[in-house]
Chain A
Amino acid sequence: MTATGILIWAVTIATGLALWRRDPPAIASGVRFAFGTLKSVLPVMILALPMAGFLTVLVPERFAAVLFGAETGLRGHLLATVVGAFIPGGPFVSFPIVLALWNSGAGAPQMVTLISAWSVLAINRVIVWEAPLMGWRFVWLRLLTGFWLPLASGLIAEALLALLPPGSIGR
């Protein structure tokens, strides 16, 4: 297992122990929740992984570098905002797409912008869920207060990366 795997298992076990000391029966409901989620996530993931593979093969080597590369600056962030806003579906669609783009040379901060745009602007979710459930007034309030967030998160990510030694996050 990778270092990541070991770290996550360690955090999980520590959290489980803390929960067990505070509220032992909650452990069982946590495990039930995990299995319930696994049952719904696993089939989707099994179908989503081939898509990630095919997209990685399909997206030409330097394609994303030209559009979203680290050197594209503000233009890359703005394009990532627009593209992210229109990616439909749940994380099982967006994360494989981001992985394929990242593998073909997109910059990490630009991908932060893209994920933020997908999660905050989410044109598809607005039309299918938010407007019918919450009404357009709420949608406008949320978009007015949130339209600038994807760009902000990408630029903050860029500033954070500048503080780290080069190559600490990359593909």
Chain B
Amino acid sequence: MTSPPSPPVPNLPARNGGTRSSLLVVAALSGASGLAAWAVKGSDSVVQGLAIAWGLALTILPVLGAALLLAGFVQAGIARDTISRWLGAESGFRGLAIATVAGAATPGGPMAAFPLVLALAAGGADRGALIAYITAWSLNGFQRILVWEIPILGPEFAALRFLASLPLPILAGLLARRLPPWRV
């Protein structure tokens, strides 16, 4: 960033517009893909697509309830200020490991995660921890895995991807510490 953030940026209010624009985007994409299916493969394919969607819904819905509750319990168990306390206190390899766990535990989209990074930077967390945190949030966000990945792609795939990505935030953090210094 161009200047050190001070005072720490407070949590920006979650914007409802985010959900509304997601709805518009996904409605437009669904409509466009339906239209494309109709134009390319005829009206039978539209019915076929909807049948696939219905089958998916039947697999997803029973899992979704549990996934949302689990995400809620994890969220309630790990308060946001706990996350920042962990991150501020530790450095070294342990700091990177904690940042990785904290990043995966942070729920929500970019509006939730980036302001927290700004606050952590202002609170003195080192560059490696910030990178490990944001990388873990984007790669292995626990809430996204529970709510979207396991229901849509299945637990085996989700586990494979989770394990394959597990060490990477720490490696990115180590790399960030080794780059020539500049203010972040």
- Give A residues with C-beta under 8 Å from B: 1-2, 4-5, 7-9, 11-12, 15-16, 19, 22-23, 26-27, 29-35, 37-38, 40-41, 43-58, 88-93, 95-96, 98-99, 102, 108-109, 111-112, 115-116, 119-120, 122, 125, 128-130, 133-138, 141-142, 144-146, 149, 152-154, 156-157, 160-161, 168-169
Question: Does the CB pair A49–B29 fall under 8 Å?
Answer: no
Chain B 15-29: CB-based contact to A (< 8 A → 1; otherwise 0) = 000010011011101
Complex CA distance for A135 and B9, rounded to whole angstroms: 14
Q: Main secondary structure on chain B at its contact with chain A?
A: helix
Question: Does the CB pair B33–A51 fall under 8 Å?
Answer: yes
Question: Does the CB pair B76–A27 fall under 8 Å?
Answer: yes
Q: Main secondary structure on chain A at its contact with chain B?
A: helix
Contact A47:B27 (CB < 8 A) given known A91-B149, A112-B164, A157-B160: yes
Question: Does the CB pair B110–A142 fall under 8 Å?
Answer: no
Chain B residues lying within 8 Å of A90, measured Cβ to Cβ, are 22, 109
Question: Does the CB pair B49–A56 fall under 8 Å?
Answer: yes
Complex CA distance for A26 and B79, rounded to whole angstroms: 10
Among B26, B54, B56, point to the contact of A93 (Cβ < 8 A).
B26
- Interface check B57, CB cutoff 8 A: yes
Among A32, A37, A130, A153, point to the contact of B71 (Cβ < 8 A).
A37
- Chain B's closest residue to A168 (CB) is B156
Chain B 148-181: CB-based contact to A (< 8 A → 1; otherwise 0) = 1110111111001101110110011101100100
Question: Does the CB pair A52–B22 fall under 8 Å?
Answer: no
Among B22, B164, B179, point to the contact of A156 (Cβ < 8 A).
B164
Chain B residues lying within 8 Å of A50, measured Cβ to Cβ, are 30, 33-34, 49-50, 53
The interface centre, meaning the residue of B56, B76, B118, B135 with most chain A CB atoms within 10 A of its CB, is B76
Question: Does the CB pair B69–A30 fall under 8 Å?
Answer: yes
- Chain B's closest residue to A28 (CB) is B76
Complex CA distance for A150 and B27, rounded to whole angstroms: 29
Question: Does the CB pair B23–A44 fall under 8 Å?
Answer: yes
Chain A residues lying within 8 Å of B163, measured Cβ to Cβ, are 156-157, 160
Chain B residues lying within 8 Å of A133, measured Cβ to Cβ, are 110, 114-115, 118
- Chain A's closest residue to B40 (CB) is A58
- Interface check B46, CB cutoff 8 A: yes
